[in-house]
Structure 1
Amino acid sequence: MRLVRELALVRGNMRSNEDKFDLVIISDCVLDIYYRVRELPIRAGDVSVSDIIALSPGGACTTALVARKLGLKVAVIDRVGDDPFSDILINYLSNNGVYTGFMKRVHGFTTISNNIIGTGGHAFVGYLGVGKDLTISDINENIIRVSRTIFINGFYAAFTRNIINAFVEVARIAHERPIPVFLDTGPSINNEDLIIDLIKSVNTVFMNEEEMRRLFGDITGLVSAMHGSDAIAVVKLGSKGAVLVHNDLIRHCQAHNVGNVVTTIGAGDAFNAAYIAGILRGLSPEDSCNLGNRVAALRIQYLTPLELPNLENYLIK
């Protein structure tokens, strides 16, 4: 019955372009749990007590939240567990206007990230849940076809090769329309060969500087790899801004630094949302990149993305 209801929604959304999802987000929807400790690292035998605790959608669902705050109609496709963590995650998303009806609940645990913030940085202790086993059978093709854009978060691609097949198939389905596909490579600590092949199947790829070096060595290697493709590569550089690589040209995007940094966790996910929102609203890649930096700079002034204000005015500045 749930599938029937989902397909009814899809058919309803196909009636006009106005009813389409602006953005369908695929994979890496996790529950973030935030702690703040006096200092890092925490060593064996230490007793460290956090002075705060907060829960929030994280990973690609940070991108979903920020995109929704930017005024986009957003849906998420992923596998989550039948545990209480998924209840919390889905409720947070739904209560903030993100459509969750395509999230498939299966037996097991949802992916969790414990985000530990200390002086000078942060650390993660996480659990890879059922989301790492996402396959193309979990994704209805019609859902892809009623989106204006697709965003794939490639985090799990570093841990399982099978999920990359699902991502490639999603890109193929989207390009039949054609629908632009955005990809964040994720950490890229394994399976670099397949991740590079996946990059070649999308329209825009996001990565940070460390991920770029793992995949391509340096910016010259990235330019060489993108040669002959009309795809755009965006390298996020944190406080140094970002660079665009397109048609063998490198363009720098303006950094927007702030003094009141609470945490840099999720800044890249917020950047992704703003860049995509900019493109959907008709901004150039350069202006969308600058918008991404502005929104990322705002994100790091709050503990969680849930605390961000409505951001629709950012699209008209």
Structure 2
Amino acid sequence: MPCNYDLLIIGDAVVDISLNIKNFPIMAGTTHISEDMEIYPGGPAAMAIIASRLGLKVAFADKIGTDIIGDHLVKELEASGVNTEHIIRENGMSTATSINVVDSMKNHSFLGYLGAGTMLDSIDNKLISDSKSIFFEGYNLVHTGRTYYTILDTARKANLQKKQVFFDVGPLISEIVGLDLFIDYSSTVFLNRDEAMAYSKMNLENTIAMLGKKGNADYILKLDREGSVIIKNKQTIPCMALKTYGIKNTIGAGDAFDAGYIAALLSGYKEEIACMAGNMVASLRISSCIRSIPPINEIIGRIIP
């Protein structure tokens, strides 16, 4: 039977509040005034919006607060066509929030709060069955608890049902409890350069060689200006980077890449094309607003004229 959703995203429904400063560090007792401020869904929530704009049918499952930040998050997701009926509002708790501080050199720092996102109790089995693929990140996996075990159980069930399981490990990779178990349940694992080397404790060349010998998952390494690398069936396939102009900052580039890659893969394109699509969507994300991202067929049309 056909699935109602192409992609089910689980956990880390976060709102980003972005502010600018001239330079780091921010010292105690000092005051900094940002020239502008942006409040917008971040992390997997931004990825959900991008994936929906690319043409996927997306559902989001998480727990958020009944605060105005949660109201804003749901409004933005629904405006982009993301199904939010599996987002639970928890009375008396706050929605996950990230304060993003960016300096004039595009360096950034995050101050985050997980809020109600740590209290996700379960995912309906029917929702898993009704989704072609699932996606989760590593932020809620650094401590065992409700959300941790919910994501673990969902990944296990999706794996048993032969669903595509996408896992973006994230910057807290060294703190994730039972990391290899989540990798074993995944069909595709996304890592950036620093995360991959933190995992292997080796240089990039040896890391790529090690991942090529490990498990059944595909590994997608996001290497910024050097493009990306696919590690699949003990083969390594490089994907060239795209030149990007007018970079506002690089926050959200990884989530945008994931959305572009997944949208292309689920649309039937090979991993190499999916990687190029991911690179293009990431480039668009950091040089313009999310709402400017076109459907996946237009992205592919730019890659394959």
When the two structures are superposed, what TM-score results if normalisation uses the length of structure 2? 0.91
Percent identical: 33
1:295 to partner: Cα distance: 0.8
> Cα distance, 1:225 vs. partner?
4.8
* Structure 1 residues 271-300: Cα deviation after superposition (integer angstroms, max 9, x where no partner): 000000010111111110111011101111
TM-score (normalizing by structure 1): 0.88
SS of 2:100 mapped into structure 1:
strand
CA distance, structure 2, for counterparts of residue 150 and residue 176 of structure 1? 13
1: CA distance, partners of 2:170 / 2:292: 23
Residue 32 (structure 2) pairs with residue 48 (structure 1)? yes
In the alignment, structure 1 segments of 5+ residues that lack a partner are 1-15
Asked if structure 2 preserves the Cα contact closer than 8 Å seen for 1:245 and 1:251, the reply is: yes
- 1:123 to partner: Cα distance: 1.7
User: Between Structure 1 and Structure 2, how many residues are aligned?
Assistant: 296
Residues in 2 aligned to 1:268 and 1:113: alpha-carbon distance in whole angstroms: 16
Deviation at 1:226, TM superposition (A): 5.2
1:310 CA drift (Å): 2.8
Q: d(CA) in 1 for partners of 2:251 and 2:23?
A: 17
CA offset digits 1:199-253 (Å, max 9, x no partner): 1111000011111112112343454355263320011111211111112222211
Q: Kindly indicate whether the alpha-carbon contact (under 8 Å) linking 2:138 and 2:173 is maintained by their aligned counterparts in 1.
A: no
Q: Distance in 2 between matches of 1:315 and 1:99?
A: 25
Q: CA RMSD in A?
A: 1.8
Shift of 1:189: 4.5
| C-alpha contact 1:22 1:72 (8 A) present in aligned 2 | yes
1:178 to 138, 156, 162: 162
How far did residue 172 of structure 1 move? 2.0
8 A contact 2:49–2:77 mirrored in 1: yes
Task: Identify the match of residue 130 of structure 1 among 96, 108, 116.
Answer: 116
1:155 counterpart = 2:139: yes
The yes-or-no answer on 1:31 pairing with 2:43 is no
Moved runs in structure 1, 4+ residues, more than 6 A?
none
* Change over 3 Å in CA distance of 1:109–1:192 after alignment to 2: closer
- In the TM superposition, what whole-angstrom CA distance separates every residue of 1:111-141 from its partner, at most 9, and x where no partner exists? 1011122111122222221112323x2x111
In the alignment, which residue of structure 1 is the partner of 2:250? 264
Distance 1:63 1:230 in 2: 25
Q: Is the 8 A contact 2:285 2:293 kept in 1?
A: no
Match of 2:64 in 1: 80
The residue type paired with residue 30 of structure 1 is V
The question of 1:308 aligning with 2:292 is answered yes
One-letter code of the match for 2:188?
T
The residue identity in structure 1 corresponding to 2:134 is I
Greater Cα shift, 233-242 or 162-171? 162-171
| Structure 2 spans left out of the alignment, 5+ residues | none
Distance of 1:226 and 1:99 partners within structure 2: 36
Among residues 168, 179, 184, which one is paired with 1:200 in the alignment?
184
Match of 1:53, as an amino acid?
M
Question: 2:262 maps to what in 1?
Answer: 276
In structure 1, what residue type is equivalent to 2:95? T
Indicate conservation of the 8 Å contact 1:39/1:118, yes or no: yes
C-alpha spacing 1:76/1:291, structure 2 compared with 1 (3 Å): same
1:188–1:215 CA contact under 8 A, matched in 2:
no
